Amino acid sequence: MVDTRDTWQDLFNLYLPIGVGVFVVITLLVVIFAVRYRDRGAEDDRPRRRRSHFTGAEGSYILLLALIAAMLVYFTFTEMGDDRANLPAEASTGTGELKQGGADEEGQDGIQAPPAELEIQVTAARWTWRFDYPELGITQASGGGGELTTLVVPTGVNVRFTMTSLDVIHSFYIPQLRFKRDAFPERLTSFTLGFTEPGDYPKGGFCAEFCGLRHAAMLFRVSAMEPERFRAWVTQRQLEARG
Amino acid sequence: MSRGWVVMLAWALMLGVVWVVQWAIFDPDLIAFVLLGSASATTALMALWALLAGRRRDAPADEGIEATPDASHATVLLGITVLLLVLAPVLGGWLAFTAAGTGLLAVGGLVRERSSERRAVRAAREGGA
Amino acid sequence: MSATLPPPAVRRGPRLLGILSSTDHKHLGLLVCGGAFVFFCLGGLLALLMRSELAAPELQVMSLNAYNQVFTIHGSTMFYLFGAPMALGFGLYLVPLQIGASGLRWPRLVLLGFWLFLGAGLLMYAGFLTQEGAGRAGWFAFDPLSDDVGTPGTGMDLWVISVFLSVLAGMLWAASILATIIRHRAPGMTMLRLPVFTWSMVVSSLMTLVAFPALLLAMGLLFIERHGLDVFTQPGGAIFYQHLFWFFGHPVVYIVFFPFLAAGSEAIATSAGQRFFGYKLFVGSLLAFAALSVSVWGHHMFVTSSVDNRFFSLTTTAIIVVAGVEYFDNLATMFRGRIKLRASFLFACGFMIVFLIGGLSGIWVASPPLDYNAHDTYSVVAHFHYTLFGGTVFGMFAGIYHWFPKVTGRLLDERLGRWHFWLMLLGGLVTFIPQFFVGEQGMVRRIADYPETAGWTALNALSTVGAFIILLSLLIFLANLIRSLRLGKPSGPDPWDGHTLEWATSSPPPRYNFPAVPPVRSYAPLLDLKEEAAEDESSHRPVASGEGGSQ
Ligand SMILES: [Cu+2]
């Protein structure tokens, strides 16, 4: 199953120590040099730096930097390859109708998209969200009056999202999944997410791309349910829709 | 004496290398491909300009003659003309007519400044020779 | 060199009208930098308004609509009216002095640019007086939000015109600076003897000339679209706009960085009393740095699903190498020096440390999976404020403390300078460090309000406190500035034992800069002369400390 949190955590664990380490070393060097080599007045007879370039030191230093950069790129690319949701998503322009995504779809790199077990169509519009479940005949929308839409998903399976916008650019962002994607008008964006933990996500979801007056209020709730509870929810919603 | 064009050419080549990497190894969309390519090409053109300009020796400043007037009111008028022109579509077409007036004054002033500049340079060259 | 025209018999005093139409590069540089500094203060006040609003959940200070205007004009001011003009304005003043020229090439174009820039600033702020308010689509004004449906009104039109004018002005200045460097160098001043600051202006001008036309085009098309013609509403138009915008928008953050990096480097070399280390490598890495930074714009589009994320991730991460070289050279310049701990040196050190946070977090967001979380959250806000506040602002103050005596003939007060530095360092850390944490927890940008339940209140309040510490530090600077302009100690031509040509003429320099340009045999011509003089003296009377360090 796609796990965007895991990908993020792996890279976090690599990048954070390196970043903090480099920061500490360079800051210490700046401070030590500023103190140690400060001007001490006329009787100061410490040796001066004799050369104004040192090709050997510079060359090996550049090599070291290049190795660090190469390592970071290697791990980033590896993680991107593992996590199918992070492939450049298949995006098409122009069509007004939402296409059905499926297991046979190919990403831009020719790698198969992970098998989706649930289809959700996301529609963003100023300043609200709508989630359609085409296979189940369910629509989650705001009842108006500032009420937030709830995205209900099953845990443990891949969920395939297909997203568009009705007006300006928005961005679908779930902080707990460490994932966001832009929604464009006249354009479909697809991605796959997996939800591991059941429960209501305390922060829910945000619109991350500035979209005008009530951008700050363009939130949605996220509720992940274990498959059995999700099935019960589906049945209940279908009954409501009929009744 | 001027090797500035070498620097520009070197920079154009660096951009060219990144551009080649982009399409040889990666999968750029058309816009990214064109943008990076035109950056490299623009710099190469600037290098060519610098090379050609370095061969000419017509600017008075190259000979150490300072003829530019200390103040150029005509340039200020030209700036105001541009401001009026770009505002015209928003605030009303009448601005365009005002701009035409200030524009004429500005161009006239610039022509006068240039000709007196040329006279001063000629005088200085004769005086120096 | 043949004769220079004698100056007019009666020197008029520097009357305002004369300065506002002056063709003297020193007046032009001061006009542009002065204007940019005024806009810096205005943009800072807008930032304080925002921080006040964000100190607690709910709306206290202003409406949603007002907040959107305020953050839009804050960002737009800092890039279009402060950052780029200040960076190029430093170049307008200093480049001719550093290369031993009597002035700029095409001074009239520079003057024209100043008036366009002045107009740009007035028009952007005039938007606040219009019925719908000023531009409010963010400093990058993505289409379709920025079109006539998404953001109607005259204020937004004025914003588009203003950005167009400011970009045009920047191109005029860059063209003049580059042409001056290419054609007006003093005898002996080869390209590989240009001072590091002038080199930073070479690459900044090149980037300006290559990248700014993209935004000129975008603003032109956006204006047309706002007045009835479909441009970006075509399929793929929104992505096209983003490409054009970021092709300008990424290079611009380096255009406002390189000159101040180099200002810091000059302050370090001068304060340490020794030649800048690794000059040739520094120059090469500046060029490569500039080439890379024109090739990374797509990292702003990682979450659009429409660029090859790997390519832009690679080019962005590669910046580690070139940026690392600049740090190495700055540190090596300090090594075994005899550093005078002046305010300019402190700000250069502040630059290195505070910018480092921005640089390292930049490597972080260059990794797409990490950026999928950070993008458009306060993590990114903190990241780029560390690059701009650490790079541009600290570097600018290093430059101001370094060159103020040259420009005015008076010294800034060092004690107030130290207070300014330490408070600004503290303020910068207290303001932006908390933003990394709220961003990591998901707080997105450009919101006037955030849910109380999210638990971001304390960190936001802390950030607001930091912003007011920065205000305090800037007030100290303003007091120092005003005091020193009138009462500052006279500096003489060369108060710091400078290395480069600008210190060989009087402070402030005369109309055509140099009565006679000293011989140039390296990138530190004045240091050469001083070392020669010291050697002559030591051949008569030997001293213990041998002056080494010829290149
Ligand atoms: Cu939105």
Q: CB-based burial of residue C280 (10 Å sphere; 0-12 exposed, 13-18 middle, 19+ buried)?
A: middle
Q: Which run of H or E residues covers position A165?
A: strand A158-165
Pull the structure tokens for residue B20.
């080649």
Write the single-letter amino acid at B2.
Answer: S
Burial A90-105 (b: 16+ CB within 10 A, else e): bbeeeeeebeebeeeb
Residue C129 pLDDT exceeds 80:
yes
Write the single-letter amino acid at C488.
Answer: G
- List all chains that touch chain A, counting a touch as 3 or more CB pairs closer than 8 Å: C
Q: Is residue A69 part of a domain?
A: yes
Residue C545 pLDDT exceeds 80:
no
Q: Does residue B92 come out as left (phi exceeding 0), alpha (psi in the -120 to 50 range) or beta?
A: left
What is the rounded average pLDDT of the residues A118-132?
93
CB atoms within 10 A of CB C529: 15
Q: What is the distance between the alpha carbons of residues A192 and C538, in angstroms, rounded to a whole number?
A: 76
Q: Which run of H or E residues covers position A192?
A: strand A187-194
Q: How confident is the model at residue B71 (pLDDT cuts 50, 70, 90)?
A: confident
Burial B88-102 (b: 16+ CB within 10 A, else e): bbbeeeebeeebeeb
- Residue A92 is given by DSSP the state E
Q: What is the distance between the alpha carbons of residues C504 and C490, in angstroms, rounded to a whole number?
A: 16
Select the residue of C145, C151, C278 nearest A58 (Cβ to Cβ): C278
pLDDT digits (tens, 9 = 90+) for B10-64: 999 999 999 999 888 887 888 999 999 999 999 999 999 888 877 766 555 556 6
Q: If we measure between CA atoms, which residue out of C371, C239, C305 comes closest to residue A89?
A: C305
pLDDT digits (tens, 9 = 90+) for C163-202: 999 999 999 999 999 999 998 888 889 999 999 999 999 9
Answer yes or no: are the C-beta atoms of C377 and C444 closer than 8 Å: yes
Q: How confident is the model at residue C331 (pLDDT cuts 50, 70, 90)?
A: very high
- Positive or negative CA dihedral for B30, B33, B35, B37? negative
Burial B38-55 (b: 16+ CB within 10 A, else e): bbbebbbebbeebbebee
> How far out from the chain centre does Cα C120 lie?
18
Residue A99 pLDDT exceeds 90:
no
CB atoms within 10 A of CB C239: 24
Share of chain A above pLDDT 90, in %: 56
- CA distances, A187 to each of A163, A190, C375 (Å): 8, 10, 21
Q: What is the distance between the alpha carbons of residues A10 and A5, in angstroms, rounded to a whole number?
A: 9
SS3 A194: strand
Q: What is the distance between the alpha carbons of residues C296 and C319, in angstroms, rounded to a whole number?
A: 9
Higher pLDDT, C253 or A56: C253
Q: CB-based burial of residue C472 (10 Å sphere; 0-12 exposed, 13-18 middle, 19+ buried)?
A: middle
Q: Is residue C23 part of a domain?
A: no
> How far out from the chain centre does Cα B88 lie?
25
Beta carbons of C107 and B68 less than 8 Å apart: yes
Q: What is the distance between the alpha carbons of residues C480 and C476, in angstroms, rounded to a whole number?
A: 6
Name the residue range of residue A178's domain. 114-242
Q: Is C229 on the interface with B (CB under 8 A)?
A: no
Same domain flag for A229 and A121: yes
Residue C216 pLDDT exceeds 90:
yes
How far is C404 from chain B, CA to nearest CA, in Å?
23
The predicted structure's pLDDT at residue A91? 43
Answer yes or no: are the C-beta atoms of A58 and C328 closer than 8 Å: yes
Same domain flag for A123 and A232: yes
Q: At what angle do helices B4-25 and C279-293 cross, to 10 degrees?
A: 50
Residue of C304, C313, C375 to mutate, interface with A, max A Cβ within 10 Å:
C304
The predicted structure's pLDDT at residue C482? 95
For the full predicted model, state whether its pTM sits above 0.95.
Answer: no
Answer yes or no: are the C-beta atoms of C245 and C217 closer than 8 Å: no
Beta carbons of C294 and B39 less than 8 Å apart: yes
The predicted structure's pLDDT at residue C8? 45
What is the rounded average pLDDT of the residues C215-241?
89
Q: Is residue C201 part of a domain?
A: yes
Q: Is residue C334 part of a domain?
A: yes
What is the rounded average pLDDT of the residues C230-238?
83
Residue C12 pLDDT exceeds 80:
no
Residues with CB under 5 A from ligand 1 (ion): A 170, 207, 211, 218
Same domain flag for A136 and A28: no
For chain C, the straight-line distance linking the first and the last C-alpha, in angstroms and rounded, comes to 29
Same domain flag for A72 and A152: no
Answer yes or no: are the C-beta atoms of C113 and C172 closer than 8 Å: yes
Q: What is the distance between the alpha carbons of residues C324 and C285, in angstroms, rounded to a whole number?
A: 9
Same domain flag for A71 and A30: yes
The predicted structure's pLDDT at residue A92? 41
Higher pLDDT, B41 or C14: B41
Same domain flag for A70 and A121: no
Ligand 1 midpoint to CA A151 (Å): 16
Ligand 1 midpoint to CA A216 (Å): 8
The predicted structure's pLDDT at residue A97? 36
Write the single-letter amino acid at C535.
Answer: E
Residue of B42, B55, B66 to mutate, interface with C, max C Cβ within 10 Å:
B66
Specify the number of domains making up chain A. Answer: 2
What is the rounded average pLDDT of the residues C534-542?
69
Q: What is the distance between the alpha carbons of residues C106 and C294, in angstroms, rounded to a whole number?
A: 26
Pull the structure tokens for residue C363.
């490597």
φ/ψ of C131, rounded to 5, equals: -60, -45
Task: Give me the residues of C, 305-334, that contact B with CB < 8 A.
Answer: 306-308, 310-311, 314-315
Q: Is residue A97 part of a domain?
A: no
Strand A158-165 relative to strand A187-194, pairing: antiparallel
Alpha helices in C227-308 (DSSP H): 237-255, 258-272, 279-293
SS3 A206: strand
Q: Is the ipTM of this complex over 0.85?
A: yes
Residue A110 pLDDT exceeds 80:
no
Same domain flag for A67 and A144: no
Share the mean pLDDT of chain C: 90
Residue-wise DSSP of A114-154 = PPPSEEEEEEEETTEEEEEETTTTEEEE--STTPPEEEEEE
Same domain flag for A12 and A60: yes
Q: Is residue C543 part of a domain?
A: no
Residue A146 pLDDT exceeds 50:
yes
Q: Is residue A104 part of a domain?
A: no
Same domain flag for A138 and A201: yes
Angle at C474 between CA C472 and CA C476, to 5 degrees: 75
φ/ψ of A204, rounded to 5, equals: 65, -140
Angle at C258 between CA C252 and CA C264, to 5 degrees: 145
The predicted structure's pLDDT at residue C236? 84
Same domain flag for A121 and A60: no
How far is A105 from chain C, CA to nearest CA, in Å?
16
Contacts of C323 (CB under 8 A, 6+ apart): C289, C359
What is the rounded average pLDDT of the residues B85-102?
89
Residue A72 pLDDT exceeds 60:
yes
| CA quadruple C404, C409, C415, C418: dihedral, nearest 10 | 10
Q: Which residue of C has its CA nearest to A216?
A: C447
How far is C547 from chain B, CA to nearest CA, in Å?
32
Name the residue with tokens 């009303």.
B92
Q: Is residue A96 part of a domain?
A: no
- Residue C23 is given by DSSP the state -
Strand A158-165 relative to strand A118-125, pairing: parallel
Residue C211 pLDDT exceeds 80:
yes
Residue A220 pLDDT exceeds 90:
yes
Q: Where are the domains of chain B?
A: 4-63, 73-128
Q: Is residue A90 part of a domain?
A: no
- Residue C506 is given by DSSP the state -
> How far out from the chain centre does Cα A42 lie?
59
Select the residue of A23, A49, A206 nearest C274 (Cβ to Cβ): A49
Q: What is the distance between the alpha carbons of residues C229 and C396, in angstroms, rounded to a whole number?
A: 42
Residue C433 pLDDT exceeds 90:
yes
- CA distances, C315 to each of B26, C295, C324, C414 (Å): 12, 7, 15, 41
Q: Is residue C248 part of a domain?
A: yes
Q: What is the distance between the alpha carbons of residues C410 and C519, in angstroms, rounded to a whole number?
A: 27
Name the residue range of residue C144's domain. 36-532
Q: How many CA atoms lie within 13 A of C456 on its CB side?
A: 28
Q: What is the distance between the alpha carbons of residues A218 and A215, in angstroms, rounded to a whole number?
A: 5
Specify the number of domains making up chain C. Answer: 1
The predicted structure's pLDDT at residue A199? 92
CATH number at residue C366: 1.20.210.10
Higher pLDDT, C535 or C471: C471
Residue A78 pLDDT exceeds 80:
yes
What is the rounded average pLDDT of the residues C458-465?
95
